[in-house]
Structure formats: C-alpha cells, structure tokens
Structure 1
Amino acid sequence: MKYALLTDWHVHTEGFLSKIPTDDCLYVWDFNRARGEQAAKKYNARYEENLEKVLADPAVEAVVIEAPTTMHTELILAAIAHGKHLFVDKPLAPTMTEALEIKAALEASSCRFVLSLESFISGSYRFVKDQIEAGTIGDVVSVYFRRAHGGVLHDWLPADWYDETQMGGVTLDLGCHGLAMLPYLCGKPTKVNAVMTQFGEKGMENNSTTVVSFENNAIGTAYTSFMTTVGENFLEVIGQHGSIQVFGNPDSPTGESIWIQSDLVEAYHEKTVIDGKTLAQQPYPIEVFSALVDDPTLPSVKEYDIDAAVELTWLIEQAYRSANEASINKA
C-alpha cells in the first residue's frame, strides 16, 4: 500500500504505522509544518504543505488520517473526492450530521474504509462474542467495560489534547473503546445516559460513565478515565445463565485472563479460568486496512466499517448531550 499520512497529531500514529512496515508512506501533510517535517523524516516520506497536491497524486492509494477529530470531516471528504481509501483514527466525526455526510459520500464511491478501534484485536473479546452467540451464558442482561489510564493524572498527554478546537474529552477519545464494545456484544442501542466529571483545571472532562439501553433489554455500562493508575482493562458480561469476565490487556506482558461460568454448559459449571494468550490475537485495524487496499476482493470487517463508525458517533453525541442536560438541570 502506498499512502499519505494526514498529520502526525495523534499519540497512536507511530505505533500504528509500525504495524505496516512494508507499506510506503509517500507524503506527510500536516497543518503544523515543524511536526510534519519531523514526521516526514521519521517515516522516510516527503513533507508537502499543499493537501490538494498530495491527494491529486495518483501514486497515493490511501490516506491515514491521524488528525484532530474536528478536522476529520474536511479531510475525509477531500480524500473521497480524489478516490483515496481511508484509515481514520477514532472517532469518525464530532457530530452525527457530519458522520452521515461522510457515509453518503463513502457509499457513493469505491473507497475502502477502516475506523481504528484496536480493542477488537483481543482474542479474548472475540471469545466472549462467540460464547454469547453460542448461548453459553443465556441472554445477556448486563455488560460492563472499563478502559482507563493516567494521562491527565500524570500529565503525559500532549498539550493539544486539551484544546477543544482540536479534540474533546475522555469520552470522545479513550471512551470510544467501551462505546464500541457495548453494541458489539449487546446489539442495537436505543438510549444513552452519561455522567462526566473533571478533575483538575485542564478544561475537559476526564472521568466518565455512560449507560446504554439496548433493544434486547440489556444494559451496557462503559467507564473511562484519564485519572487513574488502574490501566488494566476489564470486561464483565452477565447472562441469564452465567457470566464471563476478562481482565488485562492483550499487548501487556501478562496478557488477558478469562473467567467463565455457566449453568448451561457442563464444562463451565464451575468457574473456569482461560489464559487469553491461548486465543489468537486479531490483526490491528491498520493491518486490516492495508490488506483491504491491496486486495479489493476482501470484504470489509464489520467492527471497523462505516456503519460501526456512524453508530459510535451517535453514541458519543448522545452521551455528551445527556451529560450536558444533566449539568444544565442541576444548575
């Protein structure tokens, strides 16, 4: 795959590009020239300040968008207009209006699309999904997902993270993983309620819980924070006839542990522990994207496609609306 990197703004950029070392980064475009020139040297590419020139080059097959969320719509629509395939860091767009505009443009094109949601590389989460579909724990009644770190607590996030014109809060960023996981396991969401708080004076919410109701009457809860040293992910799924818990991170030295118990499956009548390392880890979203660009016959991956991206935007928008309304009502 021959691609252009549209800004080196995001903290994940270098890690993602390291997953596709045999692909060629032809250009780096960045609204911050110094950062763009530095990135061009890092990725053995050419810095180009004229975005139109980058997108007009027929050698560029795809774009990797690692720009502020507030710039996504403009960049995505420009890339689609030039027939470029799209890898976009989460979330897709700040609003549903923009997300639907992007979807319409994408569906009218032949461009491939992947939204980066790296939580889905976990073989343990795929195992949980398979067990739900197999009926191992009966109908799901509750899902809880936690993903958090100390980026604000220990002040290691870049200064741009706190600029509302470029980013947003923890729900918009790290919270995407939980808000994507809940419908992955529970189905179609119908209602969203959220509570968000701010520790310190950074000017953004950094501690957040979102509760989602689903068509099947399940209730999902996503907790996310930049204010804790508890960096271990946690997933708990409660069914009518059992439960599954997943502790840990797939890329950590200790990996993930799964606890499963079920009234319906004899092998799991007693609580059983499964080592997540024994389950195959899935390719990173950017690896999936590279394969889709190289082979047009490959089907899109549902977890990363435009419908999942639009649904995630709806959940984020509803979460902020709920939190804002609660603040207004309290005031």
Structure 2
Amino acid sequence: MINVALLSKWHVHAKDYAKEASENKDITISVVWDENRERGEQWAQELGVPFEADLENVFSDSSIHGVIVTTPTTAHTEIITAAARHGKHIFTEKVLAPTVKECDEIFSAVEEAGVQLMVSLPRLTERFYLYAQKILDEGCLGNLTSVRCRVAHHGAVPTEESRHGWLPGQFFNKEEAGGGALIDLGAHPIYLSNRLGGKVKAVTARLQQTNGHDVDDNAVVIVEFESGALGTIETGFLSYGCPDQLELYGTEGTLLIENREPRELISDRVEKDGLIMSDQLPKALPSAMEQWVAAITKNTDPTITKEDIRSLTLMNEAAALSHKEGRRVELSEIGKSYSAITK
C-alpha cells in the first residue's frame, strides 16, 4: 500500500486527484498539508484524515511513501525537490515547473533519490490521441504538413459573482500560477502537438491579457517543427461552448478530431475513409496516476516520459519569451537544446 500526503488544494484539479487516489486500491490518503491552513483543515475534515500544518513533518514521516502535489505552480520546484530528498515518490499537476532550469533541478533531485516522478499529462493516455498517433505512424496522412490543436473554455468570462469567472482567483495571480491560460489549459495542446508533430525548432506566440488579468487569458502559438511542418496551438479562458479540436493535415490525408472523438479520416492510403467508429480506436492506456503506482510497485516504465514533461515547459518558456520580445524564438535559446535532453 502506498501512503500518500495531499499537498495543497490550490489547483482546481486537487479534488479530482484526491478522488482518483481514494478509488485506487494501492493508495491510501494519510494526511493533508496546505499553505492555506483554513482550506487545508476543511479538506482534511472532508476526507476524514489528519491535517498537518508543518510540511517538514510530512516529509519526515517515514510512513508516508508519496505525495500528490497541487500547490501553486511556482512552489513546485521547492516542494518537489524537498519531497525527493526525503525519499517520497511524487505525482504532480502540470506543469512540472515554470522554467527548464527548474525542471532539470527537479530531475536531478529525483534521480539522485531514486524515487518515481509523474506529471499528469492525461490526454496522452486517451483513445483519440492513440488513434491519431497510430494514423500518423502508419503513414495514412503521408508527410505531415500541419497540426492544429485547440483547447479552451470560458472560465475567465466575468460573472455577477466574480470578475474572474468560474476559475478561482489564484489562477490569475502570476506570482503563484507562473502564467495564465497557456501554462495551464494550454498544456494539453502543447504536449499533444509535441508528440504528434515531433521536435520543435521555433515558436512565435501572442499571449493576450484581455480582461485586465495579471496573466494571459487568450493565447496562440505558431510552431515550426524540425520536420518542416507547421503547428497552431490555441487556448484561452474566454471561449464559451468551444469544442476541443485536433486537426492533422498531410500530403495524402486529413484527420479531424473534436471533443476528443475522432470524427473523420480522409486518406488515399486506407481502404475505407470517412467517419470513424468507436470500435476502430485503440484501448486507452492506464491513467497517469495508475502509471505512477505501477512504476512504484512494479518498476515499470511510464508512457508519459521525461521528454514529454520537459518539452512542455520548454515550449511555454519559449512562447513567453516570444510574446515578451515580439519575435520568433528558437527553442535552442531556452536552456539546453533538444539534443541535450537526457533520457
């Protein structure tokens, strides 16, 4: 049994991870810590577990085997490296850290401690992505020429109750969140595009602050892949009723996916194209948390990799620099180049 501590309810997905952990037969939630004591005590009471105000006491408790981190993003590096030094396995909300330099610090601490680290990049385990990857790998689209991926919602559209909309106010605090729509919701189209398009050469980005927020609430990134293909990453907190969209275009085919359901394949390389039936899709992979548990208990290799995790932050950092300086940014300008990524 893996005894875990829940570290902070800052992120909107904290409750989701707590629910998944509580439903996993190999995990027991043992304690809650939160930088906001009132919030943490209430959460601990809801879960029927103790609250611990001193994080060092959590880390020093030998009965705690792992931590689930949903703290402010900018606190990830300090908390995750400390957890690793104390021999705790780590499951964390995306992104791992705001900068590539911090990611590398975390990787070093994790490797030295010999613990398992998992970042939740959930759509890499879903059937629609696995189908898209299969279609590409089998050459059904010919040479990939363009990728478009959009994930957006209306969480920052002001309401009578809140000028921030239904998202919590802390999501718009740059000192805590480290960024806005792109670093959070935009993670999904970034890591999907990274997998499907391959290694990225350069980006040009525009991060808008539409409603006077401290962070971006609407963003677009134009991606240049090393293969010569182009990509468009779109995200935001201002789009009501917006469907998730993934479009792959190649020299011999097109694949259209909406709301995580493949809709249509048009290709000269398949016997029968057109509408896609659900029985044509691959089986989903185990979730990020299930893969984390398997890595701890069975020493298996997760399908969500160090390169997926690091490249997500690399793209965010390059996009932020592109917006700030109003120019095209090559990824080799940020931290180490792709070729230097250690496996």
| TM-score (normalised: structure 1) | 0.91
Which amino acid in 1 is paired with 2:172? Y
Counterparts of 1:294 and 1:37 in 2: how far apart (Å)?
A: 30
Counterparts of 2:173 and 2:281 in 1: how far apart (Å)?
A: 42
Q: Give every structure 1 segment of 4 or more consecutive aligned residues whose post-TM-superposition deviation is greater than 6 Å.
A: none
1:14 maps onto 2:15 in alignment: yes
Gaps of 5+ in 1: 250-255
Which amino acid in 2 is paired with 1:309? I
* Identity across matched positions, percent: 32
- 8 A contact 1:123–1:276 mirrored in 2: no
Matches within 5 A, 1:60-209: 60-154=64-158, 155-167=165-177, 168-209=179-220
Counterparts of 1:285 and 1:94 in 2: how far apart (Å)?
A: 20
Count of aligned positions: 316
Q: Which deviates further from its counterpart, 72-81 or 105-114?
A: 105-114
TM-superposed deviation, 1:278:
5.6
- 8 A contact 2:141–2:252 mirrored in 1: yes
- 8 A contact 1:113–1:306 mirrored in 2: no
Which of 1 and 2 has higher RCO (CA within 8 Å, sep 6+)? 1
- 8 A contact 2:205–2:320 mirrored in 1: yes
2:341 is matched with which residue? none
Counterparts of 2:186 and 2:121 in 1: how far apart (Å)?
A: 11
Counterparts of 2:127 and 2:50 in 1: how far apart (Å)?
A: 37
TM-superposed deviation, 1:171:
0.6
Gaps of 5+ in 2: 159-164, 328-343
1:286 is matched with which residue? 289
Secondary structure, in 3 states, of the residue corresponding to 1:216?
A: coil
Secondary structure, in 3 states, of the residue corresponding to 2:11?
A: coil
Secondary structure, in 3 states, of the residue corresponding to 1:130?
A: helix
2:265 is matched with which residue? 260
Question: CA deviation digits over 1:85-135, x for unaligned, max 9?
Answer: 111100011111111111222222311111111222320111010111111
TM-superposed deviation, 1:3:
0.5
2:321 is matched with which residue? 321
Which amino acid in 2 is paired with 1:15? D
Root-mean-square deviation (CA, aligned residues, Å) is: 1.7
Question: CA deviation digits over 1:258-296, x for unaligned, max 9?
Answer: 21011122222xx2333389653333212222232232x
Matches within 5 A, 1:26-65: 26-65=30-69
Q: Which deviates further from its counterpart, 218-227 or 36-45?
A: 36-45
Counterparts of 1:131 and 1:325 in 2: how far apart (Å)?
A: 37
Q: Which deviates further from its counterpart, 40-49 or 137-146?
A: 40-49
Counterparts of 2:301 and 2:56 in 1: how far apart (Å)?
A: 29
Counterparts of 1:19 and 1:231 in 2: how far apart (Å)?
A: 27
2:330 is matched with which residue? none
| TM-score (normalised: structure 2) | 0.88
1:272 is matched with which residue? 275
Counterparts of 1:229 and 1:281 in 2: how far apart (Å)?
A: 28
- 8 A contact 1:243–1:262 mirrored in 2: yes
- 8 A contact 1:64–1:88 mirrored in 2: yes
1:252 is matched with which residue? none
Secondary structure, in 3 states, of the residue corresponding to 2:82?
A: helix
- 8 A contact 2:140–2:267 mirrored in 1: yes
Match of 2:300 among 298, 301, 314: 298
Which amino acid in 2 is paired with 1:312? L
Match of 2:259 among 236, 245, 248: 248
Secondary structure, in 3 states, of the residue corresponding to 1:313?
A: helix
2:28 is matched with which residue? 24
Would the alpha carbon gap of residues 117 and 277 (structure 1) be closer, same or farther in structure 2, given more than 3 Å must change? farther
Which amino acid in 2 is paired with 1:265? V
